[in-house]
Structure 1
Amino acid sequence: MPKQWQKSTTSSQDGGNSVEVSTNDDGMIEIRESDAPDRVIVTTPTKFGLWLEGVKRGEFDRFIA
């Protein structure tokens, strides 16, 4: 069964402007950009959750163009 990648509903659906997230068989979180699918960042669910909390609080808003 192929890996199921999830992207935000606000992402471009043509695949060119998206960040996608999945889990691997070890339960780790995998993150990739849709236009570079061979480059994957792997992190723990805890670290990913902490990062998401920071995103929700606006801690990374300065990186948005």
Structure 2
Amino acid sequence: MASLTWQKSTYSGANNDCLEVRPANGLVELRESDDGDVILRTTAATFADLLRTIKAGELDHHA
């Protein structure tokens, strides 16, 4: 992951209300496409844990 290009999930479709992600300086950056000035930075391990938690449905009760 050497690119600094923002990527979004293929599940997002053509809408501009999605989460985008990119690698940056050894971290992972996340932002909402409709509010691109606000960027959350985290480690790759923490991001992987978040993805595992989401895929396991452990946050579904917050939706």
Give yes or no for TM over 0.5.
Answer: yes
Identity among equivalent positions (%) equals: 38
- What CA distance in whole angstroms lies between the structure 2 residues aligned with 1:7 and 1:56? 17
- What CA distance in whole angstroms lies between the structure 2 residues aligned with 1:6 and 1:31? 10
Q: Tell me, which stretches of 5 or more residues in structure 2 are unaligned?
A: none
SS of 2:11's equivalent in the other structure is: coil
SS of 1:10's equivalent in the other structure is: helix
- What CA distance in whole angstroms lies between the structure 1 residues aligned with 2:22 and 2:48? 13
Deviations 1:7-43 (A, max 9, x none): 111114232x10000011x220000000000100000
- Between Structure 1 and Structure 2, the one with more helix by share is 2
Counterpart residue type for residue 38 of structure 2: R
Aligned structure 1 segments of 4 or more residues deviating by more than 6 angstroms: none
- What CA distance in whole angstroms lies between the structure 1 residues aligned with 2:13 and 2:29? 19
